[in-house]
């Protein structure tokens, strides 16, 4: 049943938001890299452009650094997803 609720299509990170927020706060790539334990800015850049995927445990670190909520990183509405999941559970 996985995927029937459409969750897979709606859980991508809003990388544009992350980049724009970092630039808005004038945070260099190197500083972001170091906050995640990376040595090089180029490593972080791979995450920001979508060449590599951030791990769930890295999201709170990025959110703190960008002074925002983790939910801002997602292109979906949490309430909308919860309704879909709830509807799927009722149908089963």
- The CATH number of the domain where 49 resides is what? 1.10.260.40
Is the pTM value of this prediction over 0.85? no
Phi, then psi, of 84 in degrees rounded to 5: -65, -45
Any domain includes 2: no
Distances (CA, A) of 87 to 41, 82, 90, 92: 43, 8, 5, 9
> pLDDT tens digits for 11-61?
578 999 999 999 999 999 999 999 999 999 999 999 999 999 999 999 999
Count: domains in the chain: 1
Rounded to 5 degrees, φ, ψ at 38 are -90, 150
Task: Look at the block and give the residue holding tokens 């972001």.
Answer: 32
Q: Does residue 26 belong to any structural domain of this protein?
A: yes
Residue 1 lies inside a defined structural domain of this protein: no
Residue 79 lies in a domain: yes
- Tell me the residue range of the domain where 23 lies: 7-91
Res. 75 pLDDT band, cuts 50 70 90: confident
């Amino acid at each position: 049943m996985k995927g029937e609720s459409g969750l897979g299509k709606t859980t991508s990170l809003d990388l544009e938001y992350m980049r724009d927020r970092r630039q808005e706060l004038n945070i260099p790539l190197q500083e972001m890299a170091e906050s995640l334990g990376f040595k090089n800015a180029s490593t972080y850049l791979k995450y920001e452009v979508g060449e590599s995927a951030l791990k769930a445990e890295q999201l709170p670190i990025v959110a703190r650094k960008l002074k925002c909520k983790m939910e801002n990183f997602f292109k979906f509405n949490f309430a909308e997803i919860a309704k879909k999941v709830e509807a799927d559970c009722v149908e089963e």
